[in-house]
Amino acid sequence: MNGTPELHLVKIVFFADGIQKTWENPNPPKRNTRHLIVAVDTSGSMHAHTDELRVALSLISALGGKPAIPQVPQPDGRTDLLGALQELIPAPMEKIVAADDTRPQVLVLTDGLDNFQNLVSLATGWEADGTTPSVRAMQPEGMALTNQEYIERRQELVLEHATEYLGAFVSVIGIGTQVSELLKVAQKLPITVGVLEPLAADADDADRAERTRDLCDVIKSVVTKPRASRPASGKKNEVTRTRPRPAKREPAERQAVEASVPAEMVAAVNEGAAGVVISSAPDPITAAEWKTAFGVAEARLDLVPDAGVPADQRDAQWTDKEWALKFTRAALLWLVSESQARNGECLAGAVLGGGQTSIIKPEFKTKYPGWKSTTNKLLSALKGSHAGDDRSKPLLRAEAAKKDEEWTFEHPDLGKALKYKGVVRYAVAASATEVATALCAEWANGADDWALARDEFLKHTLLADENAEPAAKRAKTAA
């Protein structure tokens, strides 16, 4: 492999809901090298793409003169792409009127969407005089955006902020299948775009053997291309993608790829990738441990009816308490499934336990007046473990908010968005992600009577359309 660096790797920033770690290259740049900053998404969903991440970091290191790659933080949390870009790119005092090639290229590796900051408005360009930022609102006045429109508009504002306002030289490599909305927007901007898609389900040994070369071909193409220009109206920039069956290329294409990524480069990248260390996730929680830990919190809040009462002596009050417990479990599973469908976004507990802003119908809250308080206490209890009780484990993670910080919950089955200020938001803890996905799937399919059935739960909410698709199915369709 040619050891002459094509890039100078200035720094690598690992980000999720904030900058998790920054590594700066101690080596000085060599002449005639492109300066590159790499922003690596290490949010929770990146657990599924560590193989691609290792190859990408190994190749970038090789192209940049082989500086030692630091340990990658444990993937956790949400995706604050906006915050990472603002941290990396100094805001200009006035519009950059010509492409400034002395500014580093910023390469973003991500598998999802920017979804962390409470985004109300953002500078996305400059006014005609070239000195005043042009600001666009996240929610245009007089317009009610659907959830899909909200997602796409948010990605558009974030990327326009980086390219049109900050004037950054940005390239994006999307990993996996959940990054489509971000890349759809990136194609319309002066951004070079690549996608590392998974192998086909029927990929054979030859395809798997070609996987590293295929990944390297896309990554190298993206990081070494000249700065992209903004495409003409109605047009899109080309996207370089990996192949679902890379061994099945046409002969001419295979020769071109082998010339770009020769065998010695593949071997070097594989060797380097084996040395990229990603912090291990905490021991995953099993379904039994989830329910046990949940039960500890329930018992402390006196939500569980006395199991010692004989079946023939259980009165209406006992039965009512059991039903309310199963309803509460269903409510928590609904919140978790919604969060996971939104790429791990933390959702306000007030969506369930709020006053005028809850999805729970008023008649339910009238019948169970203490449910709001109980639910908020349960949410708080599930984000920690109780000292002295080994059965207790953190099932949720919490995200605090400033007193006046605004947050909005939108749902296709709500007549209007629910608005909040200063609310605590929750999502699944990293160690519970896998089991929560399985439990939510069982719940949506009616395969577990641990909680009230999903359709029965929805009848007591403002999302009472029994024909509405489960959150996980909506997310899959959108992707």
| pLDDT tens per residue across span 234-267 | 899 999 999 999 999 999 999 999 999 999 999 9
Q: Work out the pLDDT band at 215, boundaries 50, 70, 90.
A: very high
- The mean pLDDT value for 222-241 works out to 90
Give per-residue pLDDT as tens, 333-344. Answer: 999 999 988 878
- The mean pLDDT value for 455-474 works out to 68
Residue 474 has pLDDT above 60, yes or no: no
231 in the same domain as 327:
no
Q: Quick one: tokens of 456?
A: 């029965």
142 in the same domain as 219:
yes
Q: Work out the pLDDT band at 101, boundaries 50, 70, 90.
A: low
Judge whether 279 lies within some domain.
no
Under the phi-then-psi rule, with left for phi > 0, alpha for psi from -120 to 50, and beta for the rest, what region is 326?
alpha
Residue 94 has pLDDT above 70, yes or no: yes
- The residue behind tokens 């000249």 is 226
203 in the same domain as 81:
yes
214 in the same domain as 339:
no
463 in the same domain as 396:
yes
Give per-residue pLDDT as tens, 395-443. Answer: 998 887 777 788 889 898 888 889 888 888 999 988 888 888 888 988 9
d(CA 318, CA 326): 13
323 in the same domain as 183:
no
Judge whether 64 lies within some domain.
yes
Q: What is the pLDDT of residue 476?
A: 45
Q: Work out the pLDDT band at 130, boundaries 50, 70, 90.
A: confident
Q: Work out the pLDDT band at 472, boundaries 50, 70, 90.
A: very low
Residue 291 has pLDDT above 80, yes or no: yes
Q: What is the pLDDT of residue 5?
A: 53
296 in the same domain as 394:
yes
450 in the same domain as 338:
yes
Last residue of a domain, one of 240, 274, 308: 274
**Which of these, 164, 161, 146, 73, lies nearest to 114 by C-alpha position?**
161
Q: What is the pLDDT of residue 52?
A: 96
Last residue of a domain, one of 210, 243, 274: 274
**241 forms bridges with which residues in the sheet?**
195
- The residue behind tokens 């495409």 is 231
Last residue of a domain, one of 243, 274, 305: 274
d(CA 287, CA 439): 7
236 in the same domain as 133:
yes
Helix ranges restricted to H, 170-239: 180-186, 205-209, 211-224
Domain count, the chain: 2
| Residue 353: domain span | 287-478
Judge whether 281 lies within some domain.
no
**12 forms bridges with which residues in the sheet?**
23, 38
303 in the same domain as 267:
no
- The mean pLDDT value for 113-127 works out to 90
Judge whether 469 lies within some domain.
yes
Give per-residue pLDDT as tens, 62-93. Answer: 998 888 888 898 888 889 999 999 989 888 88
User: Which residues 6+ apart lie within 8 Å of 316 measured at CB?
Assistant: none
Q: Work out the pLDDT band at 281, boundaries 50, 70, 90.
A: low
**418 forms bridges with which residues in the sheet?**
409
Q: What is the pLDDT of residue 388?
A: 58
**DSSP single-letter state for residue 360:** B
In 292-400, beta strands by DSSP E: 347-348, 396-399
Three-state secondary structure of 244-290: CCHHHCCHHHHHHHHHHCCHHHHHHHHHHHHCCCECCCCCCCCHHHH
Of 124-128, 346-350, 363-367, 445-449, least confident by mean pLDDT is 445-449
3-state secondary structure of 409: strand
Judge whether 397 lies within some domain.
yes
Judge whether 280 lies within some domain.
no
Who wins on pLDDT, 343 or 168?
168
**278 forms bridges with which residues in the sheet?**
72
Judge whether 61 lies within some domain.
yes
258 in the same domain as 302:
no
Q: What is the pLDDT of residue 282?
A: 61
d(CA 47, CA 74): 8
Q: Quick one: tokens of 143?
A: 């317009």
Judge whether 214 lies within some domain.
yes
d(CA 371, CA 377): 10
Q: What is the pLDDT of residue 92?
A: 85
Q: Work out the pLDDT band at 4, boundaries 50, 70, 90.
A: very low
Q: What is the pLDDT of residue 100?
A: 55
**What average pLDDT is seen over the chain?**
86
94 in the same domain as 51:
yes
